[in-house]
Structure 1
Amino acid sequence: MTPNPQAPSTVQPWLAWLYLALAVAGGVLPWLANLDYMRQYGSAFDIRLFVQLANANPAAQSLSRDLLVGASAITVWMVIESRRLAMRHLWLVLLSSITIAFAFAAPFFLFLRERRLAELARSGGHQP
């Protein structure tokens, strides 16, 4: 028997909650650093200085470039996957990626995806 790539995998309710917990951590931890940045460099968020500091040395450049490429690839997948599953609220995920943190948006998307897969499983497993 060959697996049906359109059929949702076995639903694991705990996985959605794990993704939500990671989303919370992904929202809080970067913003704690952002608040420290604003305290250290001025209360206004200077994006030019932020990017300059994010590229201040090879280690920072490595992390910045790693995030840029990885986040870009995952964002493309999130758009395609949300359309495939007819998910709602993608705009909220994409907006949170630039206003909160990608570390929030990616696990938040996975939380919403798990909930959608569970919804599809309950309705007979038919995906759009």
Structure 2
Amino acid sequence: MQLIYLLLCVAGTALPLSQFVPWLSVQGLDLPLLLQQATSTHIAAFAWSDVLISGVAVGVFVVAEGRRLAMRRWWLPLFCLMVGPSLALPLFLLMRERHLVAARPNHSSKPTPPLGSASFRR
């Protein structure tokens, strides 16, 4: 899973920035224009409102889960929300996966079976 999360971090950075950087180089940091274009059509407003709500949900999840697991640097994905949830969420999941693997008693990369899933032989 770690490789998948890492690939999603790369895609979650490259794809949004591949659209924003050219716009930024032409328009500069014109926030009123950015907001006007982000809400200029119903589909644009739909997409941006989805990103906004997803970002808030990711932020709440990162804080709650990072603290619950006593993860180191759990706050780092919060800064990555500046790129977007498409980077912040896979980065946090990668960090969480690494934290959980390191916390296992034998540090093996094999997943532990869920509770109550022991198989009984007759």
Shorter-chain TM band? 0.7 to 0.9
Query: 2:10 matched to 1:20?
Result: no
Deviation of residue 45 (structure 1)?
2.0
Cα distance in structure 2, aligned partners of 1:29 and 1:117:
29
What secondary structure is seen at the aligned counterpart in 2 of 1:90? Answer: coil
TM-score (normalizing by structure 1): 0.76
Q: Deviations over 1:15-43 (max 9, x none)?
A: 011111101111111111011212332xx
Q: Is the Cα–Cα contact under 8 Å of residues 62 and 78 in structure 2 kept in the other structure?
A: no
Aligned ranges 1:1-128 → 2 under 5 Å: 15-41=1-27, 44-98=28-82, 100-122=83-105
Q: What displacement does 1:93 show?
A: 1.2
Q: Deviation per CA, 1:53-110, whole angstroms, max 9, x where unpaired? A: 1111000011111111122122101110000111111222111212x33211111011
Higher relative contact order (CA 8 A, sep 6+): 1
- Structure 2, gaps ≥5 residues long: 113-122
Separation (CA, whole Å) in 1 of partners of 2:64 and 2:106: 22
Larger mean CA deviation between 47-56 and 79-88 belongs to 47-56
Bigger helix share: 1
Structure 1 segments of 4 or more deviating over 3 A? 122-125
Give the Cα–Cα distance (whole angstroms) in 1 for the partners of residues 49 and 106 of structure 2: 41
Once residues 104 and 120 of structure 1 are traced to their aligned partners in structure 2, the CA distance between those partners, rounded to angstroms, is: 24
Quote the sequence identity (%): 33
DSSP 3-state at the match of 2:81: helix
Structure 1: gaps of 5 or more residues: 1-14
How many residues align? The count is 108
Deviates most, 113-122 or 79-88: 113-122
